Structure 1
Amino acid sequence: MTEHDEVRDLLAAWAFGALEPAEEKTVRRHLAECETCGTEAEHLKETVRLLDGRTAPHPPTPSTHPHPEDTLPASLRSAALGTRRPATSQVAAHATPYAAAVAGLRALLPEAEAHWSTPVVHDWDVHATLAHLLAADEPLAALLGIEARVPLSPTHETTATTPAQPWQDAWNRRTADVIAHEYGRTPEETVADWSAQADALLATDEARDPERAARAVELMGMRLPVADQFLVRAFETWIHTDDIGRALGLTVPPPPEAHLWQLIRLAVRVLGLALGPAAPPVLLAVDGGDRWVLGSDAEPVRAELALDPVDFCLLVGGRYAPGAVPRGSSGDEDAVRNVLERAASLSWL
């Protein structure tokens, strides 16, 4: 990773004054030399100022991403964007988006009081969505030596993942078990266990040490470095925070730009692997960022596809149907459709 990439990933935390002294020094030195990062840093500082002083919630619409100053309920004011690092541990850049997403969901949950049975997504209400997140964080927590908050069912303990019983089946059984278990408890107890597990994840050595987080592990059907598994957890936590916000009639802002691009770069890598080297090549442009050629590198690009950053993440997160996501495209429509359909198929959220 270049210094430019490293600083870009730190800018949101810098805007909140949440960096360690050595990181602060690196960022300030780079900002003095890089106009692009300097402009983004000033935008983030202004966003923080606005978030600390003005809120006006509006009902969300699927294809718009309002400015943060217009979207947050009062309970999200100082925790909005969630870029302050948790007091219990100073996490590394790869875990900061997860810490931010956890902080954002914690800030939203007071708005759910007396609304726990509000339908959210799939057949889940707010309570079940929190239980789902408790289950979803569990594989990474177990890998890092954190004991499950919900006892394993006999079926889960005795059924191994095999080609005939893929990880999706085991995952669906476990999340159903956890939701059923949590329905026997109060929503506040579910929140407490989810929150404690999240804190435990952020207190691990792997959340603080990039070298320890560099080892590759397979979770949820994806073999990725532990650092990227933290980004997966950030992605899902944000998606479900947005789900809950929509259900409650509140607009949740997207992750800070620096965090959003960490998620986008990971999603593009995973999408490229899913498409494979034989897919018709498509030039993907995510507005305001890089451009990637996905698919075969042995033939000319057949099409170009342009997506908004948040729309791209919502597509990968399963919140847009392939044909419904706002986009710009040219060239071979079949090649474009292949990319969109494969991106939407990545989600299990």
Structure 2
Amino acid sequence: MTGPHEEVRELLGAWALDALMPGDETAVVRHVGECEHCAAEAARLRATVRHLDGPAPPGPVPDPDPGPRGLSLALRSRAPALRTAPHAAPYAAAVAGLRALLAELDEHGPWGTPVVHEWDVHDTVAHLIAADEPLARHVDRNGQAPAAPPAPSGPATPWRVAWAARTREVILRERARTPAQTVSTWRNQAAGLLSSRAAHDPELAARTVLLTGGRLPVADHFLARAFEAWVHARDIGTALDLPVPPPPAPHLWQLVRFGVRILGPALGPGAPPVALTVSGEGGETEWILGSGDDPVRAQLVLDPVDFCLLIGGRRAPGQVPRGMSGDASAAENVLTRAASLSWL
């Protein structure tokens, strides 16, 4: 019969590749906090994987010999994101970031802390299960082409009504389960999305599909998932007084461009034209929003994080920091319309 030591040794390679199931990961974390030999082996395997993955991103150099207790904490640090095509990379990173945040909470942690929309931490993770479901239904684990949606059995339900109803249903179901079970369900569903061909094949991801009220390329639906995962991770972090950084600059700008793509049509062809400049880490880009037949009426300058939080409903139109000139009503129309797009 094998004991805990031998069982964990067999799991260390999978841990180094970030390929453990949640229950196994908990066992590894607990054991390496007590076993110096396994802690050293785990550190060696992770260093090997990082070497094969290429140079580490800029940042603090990790302790080369953290010791068993130090490694136990290191296991709870940001997990490496799965490699995908560029359109799914922001979602992979957002999932990795939220996983790292949730790993800070043990079974008896503050899962009941209020977060947003009368949801606590547990409920917010349950909501993400419901929110990811529409895209998950359209890409199977092998990443085949999106499956046809079920035929409607009656009058179409407005998507926001259906979205709210499904969220309530999943939250009620998950409240009868433990937080660990809920997190495991969310993680497994996210892993299915990230392992799909649609997450790795730009041509497949270019196909449009109607989900949650928008007919968009599958690639944009992945960006919507990234947007929501990051915003809700930030909600949880704020509630628990844990820092959640914005997405890395390349991912942040992908979310900005996605936000502009959905904001432009939402303004309508008759909206007074406004020059929107988003300027911050990673560069500066300008778009002309509204009618293309009239002279620009106003200039609006926003930070990329503030722009995303405005689209995500976490910045009020009248309170978001901005630079503004020209017709104030035209600029305010853009801000108000951007905030109204939030489905989060």
Q: CA deviation at 1:18?
A: 9.9
| Contact map agreement 1:76 1:108 (CA 8 A) in 2 | no
Q: 1:30-89 CA deviation, whole Å, 9 max, x = no partner? A: xxxxxxxxxxxxxx94xx323857xxxxxxxxxxxxxxxxxxxx669852xx6x442xxx
Tell me which of 65, 85, 88 is aligned to 1:92. 85
Q: 1:255-303 CA deviation, whole Å, 9 max, x = no partner? A: 0000000000010011001112210000000013210000011010000
| 2:21 aligned partner | none
| 1:137 aligned partner | 132
Instruction: Give the partner amino acid of 2:59.
Output: R
| 2:104 aligned partner | 111
Give the 3-state SS of the residue equivalent to 2:103 in structure 1: helix
Indicate whether 1:217 and 2:227 are aligned: no
| 1:325 aligned partner | 320
- The correspondence of residues 43-58 of structure 1 with structure 2, limited to 5 A, is 45=57, 48-50=58-60, 52=62
Q: CA deviation at 1:19?
A: 10
Alpha-carbon separation, structure 1, partners of 2:287 and 2:50: 33
Q: Structure 2: state its 5+ residue gaps.
A: 1-48, 64-72, 142-149
When residues 230 and 121 of structure 1 are mapped into structure 2, their CA distance, relative to the original with a 3 A threshold, is: same
Q: Structure 1: state its 5+ residue gaps.
A: 1-15, 25-43, 54-73, 147-155
| 2:249 aligned partner | 257
Q: 1:179-220 CA deviation, whole Å, 9 max, x = no partner? A: 000001011100000000000001111011111111001111
Indicate whether 1:173 and 2:165 are aligned: yes
Alpha-carbon separation, structure 2, partners of 1:348 and 1:263: 15
Q: CA deviation at 1:104?
A: 0.2
Alpha-carbon separation, structure 2, partners of 1:278 and 1:222: 21
**TM-score, normalised with respect to structure 2:** 0.75
RMSD (CA atoms): 2.6
Identity across aligned pairs (percent)? 58
Indicate whether 1:101 and 2:94 are aligned: yes
Alpha-carbon separation, structure 2, partners of 1:51 and 1:301: 49
When residues 289 and 136 of structure 1 are mapped into structure 2, their CA distance, relative to the original with a 3 A threshold, is: same
**TM-score, normalised with respect to structure 1:** 0.73
* Bigger Rg, structure 1 or 2: 2
| 1:316 aligned partner | 311
When residues 178 and 99 of structure 1 are mapped into structure 2, their CA distance, relative to the original with a 3 A threshold, is: same
| Contact map agreement 2:140 2:192 (CA 8 A) in 1 | no
Q: 1:196-249 CA deviation, whole Å, 9 max, x = no partner? A: 000000111101111111100111111111011101100000000000000000
Q: CA deviation at 1:325?
A: 0.6
- Kindly tell me the number of residue pairs found equivalent between the two proteins: 275
When residues 108 and 160 of structure 1 are mapped into structure 2, their CA distance, relative to the original with a 3 A threshold, is: farther
Q: CA deviation at 1:110?
A: 2.2
